Amino acid sequence: MGLLKGKVAIVTGGTRDIGRSCSIKLAQAGARVVVNYHNSKGAGEETVSIIEKIGGEAILVKANMMKKADVDHLIAQTLKAFGQEIHVLVNNVGGLVARKKINEMDEDFFNYVMSLNMNSTFLATQAVVQHMPKGSAIVNLASLAGQNGGGNGSSAYSTSKGAVSAFTRAMAKELGPQGIRCNALNPGMIATTFHDTFSTDEARRNVEATVPLRRQGHPDDCADTVVYLASDAASYITGANIDINGGMYYS
């Protein structure tokens, strides 16, 4: 406890996998955490329970991060529970939705994936920054796919995550004079329900066999980096897109 003592942190999509790990790790570091969910209330309640059992403080707030009214509700509930300042925002909401090649996608599908990954990040950031004092931090979840184009049928997802990376750099420039830092993570293959759903066992074993560290990542590998980037220990780091992929680029 201590790195983030007295800070208020919002984790969008904070109920499972990387989001849950971020919520728990931020609480362990001393932050009071707002765990956001849309559909997975049960998982959210479990995440809050875990935080409370380790002596942390957290609330659960339902909000569809693709809708401004819901985002405004999330901010209002945060301020009501924890005061008038928000110090950490983790934009974790996102997903691939489905693997579709370009000739299989319609406009609605492409727009939905962009909204889920990029619009949610924009709306949350826009709503939070007016409540962030100097020294605050935003951490966005981008992806290795945003750099290399992703796997088969993931062009919409990889495009949206590339946008998140560019948005991160733009916000670092725009918000830096206010003392607000903005960084992103580019996870590779992390052992989550995302890959349980969208990646074959063969693909996952191939990653384990070929990346230098010879394993898939764990959500905590991302969450530990989020805590560091959110803390004063990273006070001169902004605009960075940090690769968390076991050395995949070098395999």
On the question of pLDDT at 209 being above 80, the answer is no
112, 157, 236, 249: the catalytic one is 157
Which band of pLDDT confidence, cut at 50, 70 and 90, is reported for residue 216? confident
Total count of domains within the chain: 1
In a domain, 249, yes or no: no
pTM, entire model: 0.93
The domain of 122 spans 8-236
Residue 90 sits in a domain whose CATH number is: 3.40.50.720
In a domain, 244, yes or no: no
Write down the pLDDT at residue 196: 60
DSSP state, residue 183? E
Query: What separation, in Å, do the N-terminal and C-terminal C-alpha atoms of the chain show?
Result: 36
Q: Check if 112 is active-site.
A: no
Mean pLDDT of 174-188: 96
In a domain, 251, yes or no: no
